[in-house]
């Protein structure tokens, strides 16, 4: 098997849960790129079997003492003893009664992540389940047996009960459960053969899966965990890292388009603050704009002369008074165009401080998520005594509060990335704030063409929506189960909100890319200010070229300069995909290293 962490997720061919350090890259390899998961084996399997053998010998009989989760009801029914002859039936009824999810189905990648992470947690040998339960979860992953899991219904304590039970319902072959088959939702009942196997053809491949009947403790172990919110958190982190790098690149392109000052990104300035994210962001901007000739007094002066000459010509042709008084032009160049800028607005010069704070939050959240990937979140859990016996201890490791707070923090951090990106975009569209770029970044006749005005309208709506979504879910709680579960995390809600914020900000950054690229095109539209005369920086040149030269599958180049209005939805969608898929980041990182 390939070594961990050293390969990008799409190059990882196989993943093992037999070690303790499952990585984010490995999870993504399984969920999005369908890497195989190796069989459950080694010391962890041996421990799982040894614990189960003890439990079956000593804890499952009518004479055995009552133990929560093994031979009792659950939640507020914790004191109700279940006879030994009804233990299997209890597992079946538990699954039926806990499949209560509603709403649209979750994406397959998130569901696959939950299956993998739950198998990984159960494999540690503290749950008291049979090893075959882990085997069957891995078999489902490797075969492509994907349960349909509704998006809503988890309180984040006791874990993600409802969504995880929908996965378990497929594991046991519940007739009313559904699977994804060639993109369609199909009931398991319609897929069962006469001998109870689940059989179907998906993407031309014959799939046969044999459901399993659960034994004592196994239903609760399959569902009492944080695996679903953890799966969404892992995917969020993976995508957020790309987003944070895209944000630095799009910001640098906006700086180039407006020919901003460089001093705000000096290494020695940020070293005084001692904040890692800020220092790393300033370093990223510096390497992106390294050797830029556009971010200079000479380029600003040349652009002003070009813009002023065009303005005089337009006014003269329209019969207006010719603006040719040297004193007026000198005043405009110095005080309105800011030939000597000194410092730019906050959304431009404070990129390191704002992006950096979000990166520090990202790092904090990543540490929480990495620890959770090592966790056992079942209840109750089994421990071995010094005498070689086993005891069960009931606690609350399923409580999602660590993830809930972290995901709320991530949501706030990502919302701020979108907020400051919108402010940069807003400046690009204003001749007064962009230092002379055409109104609304219009390439042709202004008025007849509306330019990119409406792009910022959409960004504004997304930023406003993010402000609502950024309200923390983790500060809320509603008691359940006859007040037995009187404080819940709402971690699943936090995860879903953070995911929506991420999607919104991905769109916003794509819009800034579109606006900044158009701004650069327009700032270089005359030979006197061309990109050949005043070149872009080392990294920004690569990013700009990647955008300008991008071709669709049909050979269509979308991102050339717009001299007349175009159907902007298509461009916004294409730019969001180009950036979110990592194409721009990958191209830039071929010429310079970006840090989080």
At residue 183, what are phi and psi to the nearest 5 degrees? 80, 0
- The 10s digit of each residue's pLDDT in 136-149 is 999 999 999 999 99
Thinking of the domain 39-225, which architecture would CATH place it in?
A: Orthogonal Bundle (1.10)
Mean of the per-residue pLDDT values of the chain: 93
Check whether 527 has a pLDDT greater than 50.
Answer: yes
Which listed residue (54, 68, 238, 364) is catalytic? Answer: 68
- The 10s digit of each residue's pLDDT in 167-214 is 999 999 999 999 999 999 999 999 999 999 999 999 899 999 999 999
- Supply 470's token pair: 């950024």
Task: Provide the β-strand partners of residue 36.
Answer: 14
Q: What is the pLDDT of residue 308?
A: 76
At residue 558, what are phi and psi to the nearest 5 degrees? -85, -30
DSSP state of 294: S
Non-local CB neighbours of 180 within 8 Å, separated by 6+ positions: 108, 146, 147, 148, 186, 202
- The 10s digit of each residue's pLDDT in 337-360 is 666 677 899 999 999 999 999 999
Check whether 332 has a pLDDT greater than 70.
Answer: no
Q: Which of 136-140, 323-327, 361-365 has the lowest mean pLDDT?
A: 323-327
Q: What is the pLDDT of residue 319?
A: 46
- From the list 348, 501, 516, 517, the residue with the least C-alpha distance to 418 is 501
Q: Could you count the other beta carbons within 10 Å of the beta carbon of residue 282?
A: 25
Cβ neighbourhood burial of 53 (10 Å; 0-12, 13-18, 19+): exposed
Check whether 486 has a pLDDT greater than 90.
Answer: no
CATH of domain 235-295+344-589: 1.20.200.10
Q: What is the pLDDT of residue 74?
A: 85
Query: Do 588 and 285 touch, CB atoms closer than 8 A?
Result: no
d(CA 86, CA 383): 26
457 is catalytic: no
At 314, the pLDDT band (50, 70, 90 cuts) reads low
Domain definitions of the chain by residue range: 39-225, 235-295+344-589
If you average pLDDT over residues 34-53, what whole number do you get? Answer: 98
């Amino acid at each position: 098997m390939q070594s961990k962490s050293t390969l990008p997720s799409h190059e990882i061919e196989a993943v093992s849960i037999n070690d303790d350090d499952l990585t984010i890259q490995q999870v993504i390899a399984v969920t999005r790129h369908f890497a195989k998961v190796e069989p459950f084996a080694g010391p962890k399997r041996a421990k799982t079997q040894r614990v189960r053998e003890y439990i079956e010998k000593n804890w499952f009989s009518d004479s055995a003492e009552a133990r929560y989760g093994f031979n009792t009801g659950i939640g507020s029914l914790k004191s109700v003893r279940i006879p030994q002859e009804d233990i299997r039936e209890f597992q079946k009824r538990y699954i039926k009664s806990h499949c209560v999810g509603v709403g649209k189905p979750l994406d397959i990648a998130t569901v696959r992540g939950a299956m993998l992470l739950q198998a990984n947690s159960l494999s540690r040998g503290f749950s008291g389940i049979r090893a075959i339960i882990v085997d069957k979860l891995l078999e489902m992953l490797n075969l492509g047996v994907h349960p349909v899991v509704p998006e809503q219904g988890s309180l984040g304590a006791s874990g993600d009960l409802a969504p995880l039970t929908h996965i378990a319902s497929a594991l046991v072959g519940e007739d009313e459960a559904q699977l994804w088959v060639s993109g369609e939702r199909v009931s398991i009942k319609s897929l069962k053969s006469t001998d109870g196997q689940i059989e179907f053809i998906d993407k031309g491949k014959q799939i046969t899966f044999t459901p399993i009947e659960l034994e004592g403790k196994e239903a609760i172990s399959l569902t009492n965990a944080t695996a679903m919110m953890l799966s969404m958190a892992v995917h969020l982190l993976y995508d957020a890292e790309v987003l944070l790098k895209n944000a630095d690149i799009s910001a640098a392109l906006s700086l180039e388009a407006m020919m901003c000052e460089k001093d705000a990104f000096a290494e020695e300035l940020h070293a005084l603050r001692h904040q890692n994210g800020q220092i790393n962001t300033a370093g990223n901007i510096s390497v992106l704009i390294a050797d830029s000739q556009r971010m200079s007094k000479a380029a600003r002066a040349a652009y002003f002369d070009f813009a002023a000459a065009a303005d005089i010509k337009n006014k003269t042709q329209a019969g207006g008074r010719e603006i040719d008084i040297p004193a007026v032009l000198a005043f405009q160049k110095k005080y309105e165009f800011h030939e000597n800028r000194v410092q730019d607005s906050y959304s431009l010069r404070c990129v390191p401080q704002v992006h950096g704070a979000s990166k520090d939050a990202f790092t904090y959240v990543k540490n929480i998520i990495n620890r959770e990937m090592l966790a056992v979140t079942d209840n109750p859990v089994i421990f071995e005594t010094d005498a070689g016996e086993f005891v069960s201890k009931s606690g609350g490791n399923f409580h999602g509060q660590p993830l809930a707070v972290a995901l709320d923090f991530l949501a706030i951090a990502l919302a701020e990335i979108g907020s400051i990106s919108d402010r940069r975009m807003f400046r690009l569209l204003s001749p007064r704030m962009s230092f002379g770029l055409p109104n609304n970044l219009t390439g042709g006749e202004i008025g007849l063409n509306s330019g990119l005005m409406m792009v910022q309208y959409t960004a504004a709506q997304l930023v406003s929506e993010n402000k609502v979504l950024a309200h923390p879910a983790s500060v809320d709680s509603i008691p359940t189960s006859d007040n037995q579960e009187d404080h819940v995390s709402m971690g699943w809600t936090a995860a879903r909100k953070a995911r929506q914020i991420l999607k919104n900000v991905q769109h916003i950054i794509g819009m800034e890319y579109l606006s900044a690229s158009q701004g650069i095109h327009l700032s270089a539209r005359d030979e006197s200010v061309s990109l050949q005369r005043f070149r872009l920086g080392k990294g920004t040149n690569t990013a700009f070229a990647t955008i300008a030269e991008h071709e669709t599958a049909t050979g269509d180049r979308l991102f050339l300069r717009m001299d007349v209005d175009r159907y902007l939805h298509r461009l916004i969608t294409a730019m969001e995909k180009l950036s979110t898929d990592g194409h721009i980041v990958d191209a830039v990182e071929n010429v310079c290293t970006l840090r989080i």
